[in-house]
Amino acid sequence: MRPLLAATLLAATAALAGPRIFPIDVDQDLGGLDIEVQSTPGAVTVVTLKNRSAQKADCRAEFTGGFATPVRRAATVQPGKTATLSYTVKDDLARLNVTLRCKPS
C-alpha cells in the first residue's frame, strides 16, 4: 500500500510543479529588416516580434520540437508595432527549435 501511496504523491507533485522550462533555439532570417525577436518558454511558448524598420514585415515561424508535427504561424508586423506568435506545448520537450523568416512587404 505504501508504494502505491508514494507513487500517487510523486505523480501529484510532478503535476503541480508546472511546465518545464526548456531552451529555445531561434534560427532567424530577417530579410534585412530591423526586427527585435524575444522568445519566452512555457506551457504556451511565445515569440514576440517588434518591427523597428520603416517597412511592413511579413514573418513566418515554424515551431519544431519533440514528436509533434511542426506548427506554422504567420504575422504581418506594421512599422513600430509588435506581433506575437505562440505555440502550445503538448509534449515534454528538451529543446524547441523556431525557424523565423521575415521579408519586407
Res 8 pLDDT > 60: no
Res 54 pLDDT > 60: yes
Which position has the grid cell 514573418? Answer: 59
pLDDT on residue 5: 46
pLDDT on residue 45: 92
CATH architecture observed for domain 20-104: Sandwich (2.60)
Mean pLDDT of the chain: 84
Mean pLDDT over 1-6 rounds to: 48
Burial class of 55 by CB neighbour count within 10 A (0 to 12, 13 to 18, 19+):
middle
Please give the Cα distance from 20 to 41 (Å, whole number).
9
Give residue limits of the domains in the chain.
Answer: 20-104
Whether the pTM exceeds 0.85: the reply is no
pLDDT on residue 32: 95
Question: Going by DSSP bridges, is the β-strand pair 82-88/96-104 parallel, antiparallel, or unpaired?
Answer: unpaired
Q: What is the DSSP letter of 69?
A: P
Res 94 pLDDT > 60: yes
- Quick: pLDDT tens for 13-43: 444 445 568 899 999 999 999 999 999 998 8
